[in-house]
Copies of this chain bind each other. A is one copy, B any other.
Amino acid sequence: MTNKIFMLMTFIGVPLSVIGSLMHWPTMILFIIYCLSIVALASYMGRATESLAIVAGPRIGGLLNATFGNAVELIISIFSLKAGLIGVVLASLTGSVLGNLLLVAGLSFFVGGIKFKRQLFNVHDARHNSGLLMFAIIVAFVIPEVFSMNMNETKTLSLSVGISIILIALYLAALFFKLVTHRGVYQTEESEAAAENGHHEEEPEWGKGKSILILLLSTLAVAYISENLVHTFHYVAEAFGWTELFIGVIIVAIVGNAAEHASAIVMAYKNKMDIAVEIAVGSTLQIAMFVAPVLVLISLLFEKKMPLVFTLPELITMVTSVLLMVVISNDGESNWFEGLTLLAAYFIMGIGFYLL
C-alpha cells in the first residue's frame, strides 16, 4: 500500500523535478517536489537495502540500512558545502543525530511498545554503542567547541582535521571489532535463534542484482535532486520566516532520514528490536563518526572550509540527547513510555530551533 504511494511519488516526482528545474517553476513548488521525491527515493533505497539485508543477516543488514540512509544525507551535504552553506551542513548533521536518536528510536520504541509490553534488545550492543556515542558526541564534538574559544581560525581547522581523522580511524576500528575480532561474541542465544528464524521466515522483496541496480539508480536521482534542493533553502527560509538552522536541523534531517524512520519502525513493530536499535543508533554513529568527519575533510577541497564547531544550541541538544539515550537504553529493553520520552525531548528541541 505505502509502497504503491512511494512508487507513484517516484515516477511522478523525479520527472517533475527535472522538468520543473529546467523550466524554472516557482521555488516553493520545486522545494516541495524535491523533498517528496527524495523521501520516495529514500524508501526505494531502504527497501533495496532491506532485501540485501535479508540475505546478509540482521547485523550487516542494519549496517547496510544505516549506510544508505546516510548516503542521502552525505549527498545533500556535499552539495551544500559546494554552495558554501557551512551552517546548513552543521545544522543538518545535528538534525540527523537528533532525528535518529530521538525521533527514529522514539517512534520505534513507542510503536513497538504499543504492541508488545516489553521489548528486549542486545544489551552488549547497546552498551558498546553507548560508549561510542559518548566518544563521538561528548568528547569529539565538545572538545573543539570549548578549545576553539581561545583559538584562531587556522588552529581551529587543524584541530578539526585532527579530530576528523581520529574519528574515521576509530569508526573503521569499530567495524573491524564488530565484524572480525568480536563477531558474534556478545550475541545472546535468543538473538542468534531470532536471526536464524529471520533467515528462514523472510523472503527478500527483490533479488541481489535488482536490489543493487535500484540502489544505484535511486542514489543517482537523489544526487541530482539534492543539488537543486540546496539552492531553494534560502528562498524557503525567507518565505516561511524559518531560520536556515531550522531548515537544516528539522526539514533536511527529516527528508534525509525518512528511509531509516520507515524501516526502523517496521522492524520495531515486528519485535526485531536489535535491528531497529541498530538502525537508529548505528545511523547516529555513522553520522557522527563517519559522515561529519568526511565532510570536514571534503570541505578542504572547497573555498569555504568547515571546522567541526557547532553552534551552542546544536551541541547542547546533541549532548543531552546522547545522555538521555545512554541512560534509557542501558538496560537493554524498551517500552512505549521510553519511546514517548525520546519523542518529547525531540519536540522540545524542535520548538527551540523553531523559535531561535
Contact = CB atoms under 8 A, between A and B. Distances in A.
B135 A345 contact: yes
B158 A344 contact: no
B355 A324 contact: no
A133 B312 CA distance: 22
Interface residues of A, number: 63
Interface stretch (A7-15, A53-61, A82-90, A167-175): A167-175
Contacts of A1: none
Interface stretch (A71-79, A144-152, A253-261): A144-152
A337 interface: yes
B143 A177 contact: no
Please classify the interface of chain A as helix (H, G, I), strand (E, B), loop, or mixed, using the class held by over half of its residues: helix
B146 A316 contact: yes
A239 interface: no
Identical subunits present: 3
A159 to B, nearest CB: 5
Interface in A329-344: 330-331, 335-338, 340-341, 344
A231 to B, nearest CB: 27
Contact of A337 (B158, B173, B347): B173
A4 to B, nearest CB: 34
B181 A312 contact: no
Contacts of A312: 146, 149
A159 B348 CA distance: 8
A180 to B, nearest CB: 11
Interface stretch (A32-40, A124-132, A262-270): A124-132
A340 B335 CA distance: 33
Interface in A132-164: 132, 134-135, 138-140, 142-144, 146-147, 149-151, 155, 158-159, 162-163
A328 B131 contact: yes
10 contacts: A131-B324, A134-B323, A139-B320, A139-B324, A139-B349, A140-B345, A151-B355, A159-B355, A163-B351, A170-B341
